[in-house]
Amino acid sequence: MHRPEPMAQFFNRVAQGYDQHVSEGQQTGGLDGKNILAQHLPAGARDVLDLGCGTGLELPAIFARCPQARVLGIDLAEDMLAILHKRCAGFDVQTLCMSYFDYDYPPERFDAVISVMSLHHFTPEQKLWLYQQAHSALKPGGVLLNCDYIIDSPLREKWNFARLRRMKAAPGSVHFDTPLCLKHEFKLLRQAGFPRAELLWQTKTTRLLSAIKQEQ
Ligand SMILES: C[S@@+](CC[C@H](N)C(=O)[O-])C[C@H]1O[C@@H](n2cnc3c(N)ncnc32)[C@H](O)[C@@H]1O
């Protein structure tokens, strides 16, 4: 059975062609999800955490909406980050080349935590932990925006994880898609402490979810 490639190795390998691949992407909605996500940021958002920022394709729209924003982007793949830094020269962006599972999330630091097309490789347990960290890192009233590959079928969800088990690969360590279904995503967001989650936009299986941390 074909063994998928380690995550960072995969994205470092495809980094040079990544932007073109996305802008031509019919299936994933190309740049639309990224641009629409930016429109749902509070206009006054200052501190923004981007999980899996890659080459930073989502950032120009974010700076257009929130010119005062300071973005912290986390990504495993240094070659993706090198492209981000060229794209965002002159903007207030810092990056950490590491896993967002190893980041020490500071409490109530960010106005928004965002992620675009990065979180569809993890188990429900891993995602619950990540959503809990995002919840704790948001200021009261802050927003989590996740634009990602999210499916409809719980059966398909189980089937993908079963395939990954047969390949004897640890979820999230390799580039293999294990998207969760929409209902499951909503449940995890509620469990993580968000009182309400909403589907803001979708095209095919690319969906934009928002969840707002309760004001105190
Ligand atoms: C499909 S790209 C998306 C990049 C960008 N957000 C976009 O929408 O164009 C997914 C990114 O997530 C990163 N990634 C995957 N797992 C990660 C992890 N555990 N920690 C940090 N980054 C991760 C990959 O390195 C890759 O750059």
Instruction: Judge whether 140 lies within some domain.
Output: yes
Q: What is the phi-psi region of residue 86: left when phi exceeds 0, alpha when psi lies from -120 to 50, beta otherwise?
A: alpha
Instruction: Judge whether 120 lies within some domain.
Output: yes
d(CA 111, CA 143): 7
- Paired with 174 in beta bridges are 6
Instruction: Judge whether 60 lies within some domain.
Output: yes
Nearest CA to ligand 1 atom 4: 54
Q: How far is the CA of 53 from the centre of ligand 1 (A)?
A: 6
Residue 23, pLDDT > 70, answer yes
Nearest CA to ligand 1 atom 20: 99
Residue 99, pLDDT > 80, answer yes
Instruction: Judge whether 65 lies within some domain.
Output: yes
Ligand 1 atom, smallest distance to 100 CA: 20
Q: Are 120 and 52 in contact (CB under 8 A)?
A: no
The verdict on the CB of residue 79 being under 6 Å from ligand 1 is no
Mean pLDDT of the chain: 95
Instruction: Judge whether 163 lies within some domain.
Output: yes
d(CA 143, CA 135): 9
Residue 25, pLDDT > 80, answer no
Confidence of residue 89 (pLDDT cuts 50, 70, 90): very high
Instruction: Judge whether 162 lies within some domain.
Output: yes
Residue 59, pLDDT > 80, answer yes
d(CA 133, CA 128): 9
The verdict on the CB of residue 83 being under 6 Å from ligand 1 is no
- Paired with 72 in beta bridges are 49, 94
Ligand 1 atom, smallest distance to 10 CA: 25
> What CATH number corresponds to the domain at position 65?
3.40.50.150
pLDDT of 37: 97
Nearest CA to ligand 1 atom 19: 99
Tens of pLDDT, residue by residue over 143-187, are: 999 999 999 999 999 999 999 999 999 999 999 999 999 999 999
Q: Mean pLDDT, to the nearest integer, of 63-83? A: 98
Q: Using most ligand atoms within 8 A of CB, pick from 100, 118, 147, 148 the residue to mutate for ligand 1.
A: 118
The verdict on the CB of residue 11 being under 6 Å from ligand 1 is yes
Instruction: Judge whether 2 lies within some domain.
Output: no
d(CA 178, CA 161): 6
**pLDDT > 90 in the chain, percent:** 93
Supply the range of the domain harboring residue 142.
Answer: 7-212
pTM: 0.97
Residue 203 to residues 25, 32, 36, 122, 125: CA-CA distances in angstroms?
A: 12, 9, 12, 21, 26
pLDDT of 1: 62
The domain tally of the chain equals: 1
Query: In terms of Cα–Cα distance, which of 66, 63, 67, 53 is closest to 11?
Result: 53
Element (H, E) at 137: helix 124-137
**pLDDT > 70 in the chain, percent:** 99
Q: Are 98 and 73 in contact (CB under 8 A)?
A: no
pLDDT of 26: 66
Helix, strand, coil distribution of the chain in percent, nearest 5: 35, 25, 40
User: How many CA atoms lie within 13 Å of 186's alpha carbon, on the beta-carbon side?
Assistant: 11
Confidence of residue 24 (pLDDT cuts 50, 70, 90): confident
Tell me the residue length of the chain: 216
The verdict on the CB of residue 52 being under 6 Å from ligand 1 is yes
Residue 69, pLDDT > 80, answer yes
Ligand 1 atom, smallest distance to 99 CA: 20
Residue 28, pLDDT > 80, answer no
Provide the token pair at 187.
């449940």
Q: Which amino acid makes up residue 41?
A: L
